[in-house]
Structure 1
Amino acid sequence: MLHDVNAGVAVVGCGSAAPAVCLDNEALSQMVETSDEWISSRTGIRKRRLASSEDSLRSLSVQACQNALAMAGVEAADVDLILLATSTPDDLFGTASRIQFELGATKAVAFDLTAACSGFVFGLVTASQFIRTGAYKTVLLIGADVLSRWTDWSDRRTCVLFGDGAGAVVLQATEGSDRLLGFELRSDGSLNSSLNLAFQGETRSLVDGKTVTQGNFQPITMNGQEIYRFAVRRVPEVIEKALFRADRTVEQVDWLLLHQANQRILDAVGDRLSIPSHKIISNMAEYGNTSAASIPLALDEWVRTGKIQSGDTIAAAGFGAGLTWGAVIFQWGR
């Protein structure tokens, strides 16, 4: 059913969830040759949450959604669309529909969206198009990942980085001013090998010379230096382009909300944009890199602690595997 075409978009609620199990740097140093000082000085990460056998991407996502719906004052039955941004679904065929069922969002269509650490930003832009065209009025967007499933815990270059979690936001059509001000999305497949969670298979003969390839996905591999150089060069550019489209200046940004990958990247992007450190949102010290969950996890914390106020202008940017990157400028609240 079509609603008003050219409706505005507002982000009216947020929620998050993280597993109870916490692995700090000291405990990690008992597994691989590293130390709290080495990890924290190079990444800014001190702890990460890990999904236990009792947790799932679905259970974390449902909890985050329930918290977001409660803040927004929206019933699950009134949600029209559920988007799940993830690279680590419980089921490769998709997990969003199971979340829809468990929430009781009986009229919502649900599907997964994969853009790795950029997933939440890509999802925010995707959700806004459904609202602006009048297709849907209320959208639930989830960013969630359980990277511990695909981390090589013997590789000290990568195992120090990743954690598990989920975050969600409620977007609604508004007849007033449009709160999603501008965006810019980019992809570059030539750099795909810099960060992978790749399928590896072996040839299996079936009959009469016909073969298939069967196997499994392998643990995460990453060229950290290449990703750092990519992020500090491309992320400021994409934020500036999004600000141009939003007709806003850097000085009008209240909060810089980047994918929580590495504190050095956050600091470098802030420096290049001349955004002071007190405007840069960071909680990676407690959660590590949670991929598509990192931006909504940090957003939820800053909103619930009263730091982000209604009407604040947020420049959010994601970047990661693909490689993909993008930025969206929006104002918080109705």
Structure 2
Amino acid sequence: MAFSTASVVAGIGSCLPPRIVHNSDPPLSGLDVTDEWIRTRTGIERRCWVEPGTGSGDLAVEAGRAALERAGDPSVDLVVLTTTTPDHHSPATAPWVAAQLGLGTVAAFDIAAACSGFTYGMAMGDAWIRSGSAECVLVLAAETLSTITDPSDRGTAVVFADGAGAAVLRSGRPDEPGAVQAARLGSDGTQWDLAVIRAGGSRRPDPQGLAPLADRCLRMRGPDMFAHAVRRMTDVSRSLLQQVEWPVDSVGAFIGHQANQRILDKVADLVGVPPDSRFGNIRQVGNTSSASIPLVMDDLMQAGTVTAGTRTLLTAFGGGAVWGAVALTWPDIKHNH
């Protein structure tokens, strides 16, 4: 279906907490793993963690402020925040973030789509704009995964990190740089326990904190997660490229969710993306769940690595199980001073 109105990326922003943890730093040094062990299995050399008392909402505010500034501080109609680690079980974090950004009584809500959250948020913002329900949408992805990770579990402690990214979508034309061409999303609830916090929800409430630490923190079925991520990210990428009629060799920028370097390499190989079109930052920032794609986008934007108008493919997979992909052209964003 052709649309005369498209959503266009008008601003990108990000925020990383200042605390940097290298593979050889405490508490990771007490996990009986070496720097080489972590790097060869994940591709990660360092990650950023928040200090106690800093919430996902705090990171979202900073990322959102940067994105809005680069977009020229437009009037926002909707704020969508995707996070696995909201500031509170209730209420949602998005309204507080919107208030901190001075956006008034704008519509605002959270999305829980794990590591695929940014693709879900972009699809949501795109749909609101295409339908005429909004002229401008702020999509935020903020995670403080260090707050839900068991420091004694090397399967998660060495991988997960904290950070936030943001994108401003505005109404525009499909032929503009930054225009979202299409998005595809999917889920398979039979795999709900690929990555799960078993205690603390309505199915297993734990108001007194009596559940074992392992059940109060994120646990992941690593090998199964790897296999499902490769399959779903590959399939959704291929189907989206077919939908928008882009030959894979026409894609100049491929950004996958920064989960594990081996997953990223495998998916890109299977889709057929050449090495010089693959971009990431997992080595420096670790797995920041839904924030990972916009963090990479902001790095590339600030470095001027990708030319405006370049065909760009974003893809992600996360616990739930959920997955998504977004096809857009690279935005033409200038820094506003």
Please indicate, yes or no, whether the TM-score normalized by the shorter chain is above 0.5. yes
- In the TM superposition, what whole-angstrom CA distance separates every residue of 1:181-208 from its partner, at most 9, and x where no partner exists? 122111001111111123357999xxxx
Q: Which residue of 1 aligns with 2:212?
A: none
Q: Which residue of 2 aligns with 1:58?
A: 57
- In the TM superposition, what whole-angstrom CA distance separates every residue of 1:260-305 from its partner, at most 9, and x where no partner exists? 0000001101111221222111101111111111111111101110
In the superposition, relative to structure 1, how do residues 315 and 144 fare at CA in structure 2: closer, same or farther (>3 Å)? same
Q: Which residue of 1 aligns with 2:119?
A: 121
State whether residues 4 and 174 of structure 2, in contact with CA within 8 Å, keep that contact through their aligned partners in structure 1.
Answer: no
Q: Which letter maps to 1:135?
A: S
How far apart, in 2, do the equivalents of 1:71 and 1:218 lie? 39
Deviation at 1:37, TM superposition (A): 0.1
Work out which of the two has the higher radius of gyration on C-alpha atoms and give 1 or 2. 1
Deviation at 1:254, TM superposition (A): 0.8
How far apart, in 2, do the equivalents of 1:68 and 1:245 lie? 29
State whether residues 10 and 332 of structure 1, in contact with CA within 8 Å, keep that contact through their aligned partners in structure 2.
Answer: no
After TM superposition, list the pairs within 5 Å mapping 1:319-334 onto structure 2.
Answer: 319-333=317-331
How far apart, in 2, do the equivalents of 1:294 and 1:26 lie? 23
2:88 is paired with a residue of what secondary structure? coil
Q: 1:87 aligns with which of 69, 76, 84?
A: 84
How far apart, in 1, do the equivalents of 2:151 and 2:203 lie? 28
Unaligned runs of 5+ in 2: 210-214, 333-337
State whether residues 174 and 180 of structure 2, in contact with CA within 8 Å, keep that contact through their aligned partners in structure 1.
Answer: no
After TM superposition, list the pairs within 5 Å mapping 1:80-229 onto structure 2.
Answer: 80-92=77-89, 93-175=91-173, 177=175, 179-200=179-200, 214=207, 218-229=216-227
In the superposition, relative to structure 1, how do residues 128 and 223 fare at CA in structure 2: closer, same or farther (>3 Å)? same
How far apart, in 2, do the equivalents of 1:67 and 1:214 lie? 37
Mean Cα deviation higher: 258-267 or 52-61: 52-61
2:150 is paired with a residue of what secondary structure? coil
State whether residues 25 and 39 of structure 1, in contact with CA within 8 Å, keep that contact through their aligned partners in structure 2.
Answer: yes
In the superposition, relative to structure 1, how do residues 213 and 221 fare at CA in structure 2: closer, same or farther (>3 Å)? closer
Normalising by structure 1, what TM-score?
0.91
Unaligned runs of 5+ in 1: 205-211
Mean Cα deviation higher: 168-177 or 236-245: 168-177
How far apart, in 2, do the equivalents of 1:198 and 1:251 lie? 43
Deviation at 1:71, TM superposition (A): 1.2
Deviation at 1:177, TM superposition (A): 2.8
Q: Work out whether 1:297 is the aligned partner of 2:295.
A: yes
How far apart, in 1, do the equivalents of 2:174 and 2:113 lie? 31
Deviation at 1:107, TM superposition (A): 4.6
Q: Which letter maps to 1:90?
A: D
Q: Which letter maps to 1:87?
A: T
State whether residues 115 and 122 of structure 1, in contact with CA within 8 Å, keep that contact through their aligned partners in structure 2.
Answer: yes
In the superposition, relative to structure 1, how do residues 39 and 214 fare at CA in structure 2: closer, same or farther (>3 Å)? same
Q: Which consecutive aligned stretches of 4+ in structure 1 deviate over 4 angstroms post-superposition?
A: 200-204, 212-217
How far apart, in 1, do the equivalents of 2:153 and 2:300 lie? 32
How far apart, in 2, do the equivalents of 1:114 and 1:198 lie? 16
State whether residues 11 and 67 of structure 2, in contact with CA within 8 Å, keep that contact through their aligned partners in structure 1.
Answer: yes
1:27 is paired with a residue of what secondary structure? coil
Deviation at 1:239, TM superposition (A): 0.3
Q: Which letter maps to 2:184?
A: E
How far apart, in 1, do the equivalents of 2:78 and 2:94 lie? 10
Count of matched residue pairs: 321
Q: Which residue of 2 aligns with 1:311?
A: 309
Q: Percent identity?
A: 36
State whether residues 268 and 278 of structure 2, in contact with CA within 8 Å, keep that contact through their aligned partners in structure 1.
Answer: yes
1:182 is paired with a residue of what secondary structure? strand
2:25 is paired with a residue of what secondary structure? helix
How far apart, in 1, do the equivalents of 2:114 and 2:100 lie? 24
In the superposition, relative to structure 1, how do residues 59 and 274 fare at CA in structure 2: closer, same or farther (>3 Å)? same
Q: 1:236 aligns with which of 225, 234, 237?
A: 234
State whether residues 183 and 246 of structure 1, in contact with CA within 8 Å, keep that contact through their aligned partners in structure 2.
Answer: no
Q: Work out whether 1:68 is the aligned partner of 2:71.
A: no
Q: Which letter maps to 1:236?
A: T
How far apart, in 2, do the equivalents of 1:250 and 1:24 lie? 36
- In the TM superposition, what whole-angstrom CA distance separates every residue of 1:32-56 from its partner, at most 9, and x where no partner exists? 1111000001100011100102522
Q: Please state which structure has a larger fraction of its residues in strand.
A: 1
Q: 1:254 aligns with which of 236, 252, 255?
A: 252
Q: Which residue of 1 aligns with 2:35?
A: 36
How far apart, in 2, do the equivalents of 1:60 and 1:177 lie? 33
How far apart, in 2, do the equivalents of 1:257 and 1:86 lie? 19
In the superposition, relative to structure 1, how do residues 203 and 113 fare at CA in structure 2: closer, same or farther (>3 Å)? closer
How far apart, in 2, do the equivalents of 1:327 and 1:278 lie? 20
